[in-house]
Amino acid sequence: MQTKFAIIDIGSNTIRLVIYDSDESGRFKEIENIKQVARLRDYLLPSGVLSEIGINLLVQTLRTHRDIMNHHFVTNVICVATATIRQSRNQASIITTVEAETGFSLRILSEYEEAFYGFLAVNNSTPYTEGITIDIGGGSTEITYFKNRELIAYHSFPFGALSLKRQFVESDIPTEEERTKLLAFVREQLGMLPWLTDRRLPIIAIGGSARNLVQVHQFLVQYPVAGLHLYEMNGQDIVDSLAFMQSQSFEDLQKLEALSKDRADIILPAVQVFHALYEESSASMFVLSRKGLRDGIFYEQLLKPLSIQYFPTIYEESSFELQQDFNIDLQYTLSSLSLANKVFTHLKEEGIASLTEGDGLLLRKAALAFYLGSYIDAEASSQHTFYLLANRTIDGLRHRDRVKLALVASYKNKQVFKQYISPFKNWFTKTEQKKLRLLGSILKVAYSMNATKRNIVDDISMYQDENSVIFDVFCNKNPMAEEYQVEKQKKHLEKCIKRNILFNFTV
């Protein structure tokens, strides 16, 4: 891939330009994300022809995108179109006009391609190995079923949020009768897919309508952390959000901070589709993926040279991004992690603490991000670490797991831990909270044993007597500084295991 490239997504509701640029590590980041609400679907005539007005609007928008690309010196672009252009009888002339007027080679995605790219985005940014995806556009709705990270089935319905509104809703807000007819129609359509019924799997939703539904629900529950990606809702959450929006006037919906103004007239039909799918599939949860069609195309381009379709381990890619963004010293971190693993293993094998493989995995993740907030301010590194990890989108981590990671990687002491966890007390049992404190205290001791970053600890052994737990720490250089730091920090571990701890450093 070139160092800069762009993707233009011509949808039925919006036209979006995204420009990517690579950094020194070879990682690509978005540097522009421009959205134009063109609503091309409104210019698709009953005859199936996209009107001249619609074509002119498309060309004008693409010319603006071309100017933005020129400003960024971008020449490599993938320009794709979905349902409205796909369903247009005059698509051949649209392609010709676009190329003549803008220089863009327009690629019209098939129903399968549109569904596949959404699945590919989910597959590379979420932890789910089996589930159902849904992407409600303006003129079509793509649904897939995947298992073991492989696409098993897909279907593209020729209706979307805009077309449903045009078909069933006369005014800005649907009446009760219109909602009933719309819901009956959607249920009938979904019922035609035998592979969808009663799956009892997560629904992973893509696109602007899903994003706005999540924003409304977060607004209603006063959600304590930032981030939409991998936000989870249940069926009642959808019902409550739908009821709230239905209780608002159109003017109030347009003013609602959690809702994009341009979606005020189409959000209700879209949420009814989500609700119908949730019921038809007996879903276990409704999850938002911020990564969609454009990201699927991006992943295809990124991974094609490697001859793979998805990252083997999604979180590892996110961890690499953290290392790059916060200038983490990987050698120092890995050596400290090795020490933490030894302490963890001794406590587990001696039965001093009840620890599981899952706890060990969390410890390793937290060790790689421990006190990364020092990149911003060393004096307030704990606070910065917690805020950054709790509020940052981390592909592959659900929100609850993200907060767990933040609590362990930022651990300072019990009092500060209580301060951090205060908004999330209902998320974790008391037993889970104690476990998180234990893991955090293990990391504090491990990093203290590597305080000077000299990697002087060769091995650690442990035994216990009636009164104490004793760690013998074998070093290859004078451990005076490390011993001092361990003596300062061991109290946190002592409080967690309720035992006196002795550290014997020897060279």
Decide if 363 is inside a domain. Answer: yes
Give the CATH number, domain containing residue 87: 3.30.420.40
Strand order of the β-sheet with 202-206 is 150-157, 141-147, 130-136, 202-206, 285-289, 232-233
Task: Kindly tell me the burial class for residue 331, based on how many C-beta atoms sit within 10 Å of its own C-beta (0-12, 13-18, 19 or more).
Answer: exposed
Residues 438 and 472 placed together within one structural domain of the fold: yes
Residues 139 and 286 placed together within one structural domain of the fold: yes
Decide if 371 is inside a domain. Answer: yes
Token digits of residue 53: 């007005």
Per-residue pLDDT 10s for the chain (507 aa) are: 568 999 999 999 999 999 999 887 778 899 999 999 999 999 999 999 999 999 999 999 999 999 999 999 999 999 999 999 999 999 999 999 999 999 999 999 999 999 999 999 999 999 999 999 999 999 999 999 999 999 999 999 999 999 999 999 999 999 999 999 999 999 999 999 999 999 999 999 999 999 999 999 999 999 999 999 999 999 999 999 999 999 999 999 999 999 999 999 999 999 999 999 999 999 999 999 999 999 999 999 999 988 999 899 999 999 999 999 999 999 999 999 999 999 999 999 999 999 999 999 999 999 999 999 999 999 999 999 999 999 999 999 999 999 999 999 999 999 999 999 999 989 999 999 999 999 999 999 999 999 999 999 999 999 999 889 999 999 999 999 999 999 999 999 999 999 999 999 999
- Give the per-residue pLDDT at 1: 58
Decide if 190 is inside a domain. Answer: yes
Residues 343 and 440 placed together within one structural domain of the fold: yes
Decide if 311 is inside a domain. Answer: no
User: How many domains are contained in the chain?
Assistant: 3
Residues 429 and 322 placed together within one structural domain of the fold: yes
Of 50, 76, 109, the residue that ends a domain is: 109
- Give the per-residue pLDDT at 25: 74
Of 72, 89, 109, the residue that ends a domain is: 109
Chain position carrying tokens 């009107």:
51
Residues 96 and 121 placed together within one structural domain of the fold: no
- Give the per-residue pLDDT at 211: 97
Number of helices (H) and strands (E) in the chain: give both, helices first. Answer: 19, 14
Residue 126 φ/ψ, nearest 5 degrees? -130, 160
Decide if 308 is inside a domain. Answer: no
From the list 44, 423, 475, the residue with the least C-alpha distance to 222 is 423
Host domain of residue 386: 316-505
* pTM beyond cutoff 0.85: yes
Residues 105 and 120 placed together within one structural domain of the fold: no
Decide if 366 is inside a domain. Answer: yes
Of 295, 326, 342, the residue that ends a domain is: 295
Decide if 304 is inside a domain. Answer: no
Residues 65 and 207 placed together within one structural domain of the fold: no
- Give the per-residue pLDDT at 350: 94
CB-based contacts of 87-93 (< 8 A; 24+ apart in sequence): 87/44, 87/48, 87/139, 87/140, 87/158, 88/44, 88/48, 88/49, 88/50, 89/47, 89/48, 89/49, 90/49, 90/50, 91/50
Residues 387 and 495 placed together within one structural domain of the fold: yes
- Give the per-residue pLDDT at 2: 64
CA distance 216 to 223: 10
Decide if 236 is inside a domain. Answer: yes
CA distance 387 to 423: 13
- Buried/exposed 215-232: b ≥16 CB within 10 Å, e otherwise: bbbbeeeebebebbbbbe
From the list 392, 385, 115, 405, the residue with the least C-alpha distance to 228 is 392
Give the CATH number, domain containing residue 141: 3.30.420.150
Residues 360 and 285 placed together within one structural domain of the fold: no
From the list 161, 398, 363, the residue with the least C-alpha distance to 262 is 161
CA distance 109 to 137: 13
Residues 127 and 176 placed together within one structural domain of the fold: yes
Residues 263 and 118 placed together within one structural domain of the fold: yes
Contact 353, 347 (CB under 8 A): yes
Chain position carrying tokens 């999604």:
314
CA distance 344 to 12: 54
Residues 103 and 120 placed together within one structural domain of the fold: no
